Amino acid sequence: MKIENFIRDISDFPKPGIQFKDITPLLLNYNALVACANQLADLVPVNTSIDKVIGVESRGFIMGAMLAERLQAGFIPVRKKGKLPHTIISKEYDLEYGSDTLEIHADAISKGEHILVHDDVLATGGTASTVCSLVEELGGVVIQCNFIIELNALKGRDHLHVPVAAVLQY
């Protein structure tokens, strides 16, 4: 199934000049949703051990949890500031259209655990790089970052020091 047929472009969102890639149509279609989750799982090299999958707020939660199920791994939500109820570590980062803070529970990762980081879109790499830093601070090992969409012109993968994979390239 061609999941690119379920990606919608939204001009000037969230601010003028941004061409937003909306995955909502993909989420609305059961067959596209399953196909995308399977394609994301197939991006993980065979015989790679993954202990936990991180899904980045908020769209990364959806496929992240589906990936965790397929990879027989636990799931970790990484959230924006103030959304997690337990002891956290946090890190501020820059977006292509502003800045934000990400948080993870301090007990989410044990030293040496193999982590797959998932988000819907790789743009400038700021979010994924920040998540990788949080994982490493907790003693985890990022095995791969994977995405539904990679926006090649923004060169986000250049800011990541781990393998990167995406189902779609724009």
User: Which residues are marked as active site?
Assistant: 59, 96
Q: Collapse the DSSP code of 159 into the 3-class scheme (helix H, G, I; strand E, B; otherwise coil) and give the result.
A: helix
Distances (CA, A) of 75 to 29, 115, 142: 23, 10, 14
Contact residues for 132 (Cβ-Cβ < 8 A; gap 6+): 117, 142, 145, 160, 161, 162
User: Which residues is 3 bridged to in the sheet?
Assistant: none
Q: How far apart are CA 8 and CA 44, in angstroms?
A: 26
Q: How far apart are CA 99 and CA 1, in angstroms?
A: 35
